[in-house]
Amino acid sequence: MDVSIIELLKVVIIGVVEGLTEWLPVSSTGHMILVDEFIRLNVDQKFMDMFLVVIQLGAIMAVVVLNFEKLNPFSGWKSRQEKKDTVDLWKKVIVACLPAAVIGLALNDYMEEHLMNAPVVAAMLILYGVLFIVVENYNKRRRPRVQSLERLDYKTALIIGFFQVLSLVPGTSRSGATILGGILFGASRYVATEFTFFLAIPVMFGASLLKIVKFGFHYSGAEILILVIGMATAFVVSVLSIKFLLQYIKRNDFKAFGWYRIVLGIVVLAYLFLVGDPTANNL
């Protein structure tokens, strides 16, 4: 398979969309469905399904690079207590991953087969957009009890992990579901968002590894080039996206993202009404 400049530009666009929407609570799946409708790569469906998951490795490496010191329990710059806090953070991440590991693996194939379609994505975009607005209005009357990652207890981490399972439904947004769960159960916006980033590391590495194993280790040179460019683009854009979101929530709430989701969901429904379901042929 030859890769033209046009195809590489398409890969870059997909990488940009992934880098932006993986961390902002707006559903990367919803955006990918729309992007795939207008920008189709000249690859077979099996490779495309794998590519859209494995490209997330670029996004997740942005979290690792930006937070390497905070996530490294062996850093020589840390005191004994700081190293202990880092180990505790990883334990909380592991606890939060358990619901997705148990429930997610059991339901993932069913969800992809029956719910991976544009109408479901549109409905979830709107539903969680409304929930963000409702939760933020409710949260005005409350003071977060968890103002730092060190104060995040294991019970709250596990609850956030159960909220992550909700993201199995396409259009929900993994970051959106876990941030909502964190805020509802007492975490500040910043802590809920930061923990969501760290929680993504084992989840997305695991999902990518699973897709790679299912696809097999037989890649053409063109396919390797597509994967590398896609991941590199997602990495660079993710760095900017993460920095933006962490600065944004210091001064703002998530209502703007809620309204954006609602508008996007309505746009998707209008598009479905006009041209039909672009995902129907894949079901």
Q: Which domain holds residue 89?
A: 5-282
Per-residue pLDDT, 267: 87
Q: Vertex 281, ends 272 and 19: CA angle to 5°? A: 70
Model confidence at 163, pLDDT cuts 50, 70, 90, reads very high
| pTM score, whole prediction | 0.87
Lowest mean per-residue pLDDT among 11-20, 100-109, 140-149: 100-109
Q: Residue-wise over 225-236: b if at least 16 C-beta within 10 A, else e?
A: bbbebbbbbbbe
Per-residue pLDDT, 116: 72
pLDDT tens-digit series, residues 186-217: 999 999 999 999 999 998 888 888 888 888 88
pLDDT tens-digit series, residues 3-50: 788 889 999 999 999 999 999 999 887 787 778 777 888 888 888 888
Give the contacts of 79 (CB within 8 A, at least 6 positions apart).
none
Q: What is the tally of structural domains in the chain? A: 1
